[in-house]
Amino acid sequence: MEIIRARDYEHMSRQAANILSAQVILHPESVLGLATGSSPIGVYRQLIKWYEKGDLDFSRIHTVNLDEYVGLSADHPQSYAHFMREKFFDHVNLERANTHLPDGTNDDAWEECARYDKIIRSLGGVGLQLLGLGPNGHIGFNEPGESFTKGTHKVSLAEATIQANKRFFESEDDVPRFAYTMGILDIMQAERVVMVVSGAQKAEIVHEAFFGPVTPRVPASILQLHKNFTLVADEAALSWC
Ligand code: GLP
């Protein structure tokens, strides 16, 4: 595990964007695993800038997103499909057919999870996975539990996650209670994993996840065992380390 200590959110975003752009330049047919949340927005912003300058070409890149809320269609303003179009896809030359997210409108969970895992397998797995860190240590929507779940699955969102994500919805009641998420094995099989974390409110969980024991009670802690994991965090997020 490698830690890159950034000064602040902007610096963290540029450092992580540098790693993603190296991947896109060196491996123009890569599969990028992408994340939502406020943490990676700066990374997307930076990649868009470099794309606009003519430095990056996404035309042969494929993307697979980590997760999606169950019950939200791709055009729902709070869906992760909408988030990705608004924050990234609509601003670069990714082929829309090469971008993948779980389908939140498929209420047959078994079928949807099998479909999504088949897509990941058919692409040959993830080359570089970008991650944020949930306030309770979740990655994607892999919530704390008694064991690590391997493939894509349907999860019941933890109370802490509902509380953290309600800021994006009109009311707490509007936050979906379930989501589809890539599993821990899907994430661990990525060739390279980069996590971005910012802010003092994440300092305690960063310490627990990366300086404590590997345990499904803190799902991100499994990344300590990944062969090529880089944590890009700002000073505030690293203040307990
Ligand atoms: C959501 C997403 C996660 C993300 C987390 C943290 O729950 N499913 O993938 O890492 O939020 O979000 P933020 O970066 O806004 O703290």
The per-residue pLDDT for 49 is 98
Residues designated catalytic: 67, 136, 138, 143
pTM above 0.85, yes or no: yes
- Ligand 1 atom nearest to CA at 202: 16
Determine, yes or no, domain membership for 81.
Answer: yes
The torsion of the CA quartet 176, 150, 41, 19, rounded to 10 degrees, works out to 180
SS3 148: coil
Token pair 């969980």 is at which residue?
A: 205
User: For position 58, what pLDDT does the model report?
Assistant: 98
**Which domain range does residue 118 map to?**
2-123+134-173+201-209
For residue 196, is it within any domain?
A: no
**What SS3 class is residue 139?**
strand
Three-state secondary structure call for residue 63: strand
Cβ of 137 below 6 Å from ligand 1: no
CATH, residue 77? 3.40.50.1360
Q: Is 161 in the pocket of ligand 1 (CB under 6 A)?
A: yes
Query: 15: Cβ below 6 Å to ligand 1?
Result: no
Residue type, 28: P
Could you tell me if residue 215 is inside a domain?
A: no
CA–centroid distance, 37 to ligand 1, in Å, is 4
Q: Is residue 239 part of a domain?
A: no
Q: Does the residue 217 lie in any domain?
A: no
For residue 17 and ligand 1, the question of a CB distance below 6 A is answered with no
Q: Give pLDDT, residue 221.
A: 98
Name the residue of 12, 36, 194 whose CB sits within 8 Å of the most ligand 1 atoms, as the mutation to test its pocket. 36
- The answer to whether the CB of 142 is under 6 A from ligand 1 is no
What local confidence, expressed as pLDDT, does residue 167 receive?
92
d(CA 37, CA 80) in angstroms, rounded, equals 9
188 located within any domain: no
Centre of ligand 1 to C-alpha 35, Å, is 8
Pocket test for ligand 1, best of 138, 141, 181 (most atoms within 8 A of CB): 138
Ligand 1 within 6 A of CB of 201: no
Q: Which residues on neighbouring strands pair with residue 12, listed in sequence order?
A: none
> What values do phi and psi take at 18, rounded to 5?
-60, -40
| Any domain includes 103 | yes
Is position 222 within any domain?
A: no
Domain count, the chain: 1
Question: Residue 198 carries which DSSP code?
Answer: -
Q: Whose alpha carbon is nearest atom 9 of ligand 1?
A: 140
Each residue's pLDDT tens digit in the chain (241 positions)? 999 999 999 999 999 999 999 999 999 999 999 999 999 999 999 999 999 999 999 999 999 999 999 999 999 999 999 999 999 999 999 999 999 999 999 999 999 999 999 999 999 999 999 999 999 999 999 999 999 999 999 999 999 999 999 999 999 999 999 999 999 999 999 999 999 999 999 999 999 999 999 999 999 999 999 999 999 999 999 999 9
CA–CA distances in Å: residue 31 to residues 99, 157, 168 = 10, 27, 28
CB-based burial label for 39 (10 Å; 0-12, 13-18, 19+): buried
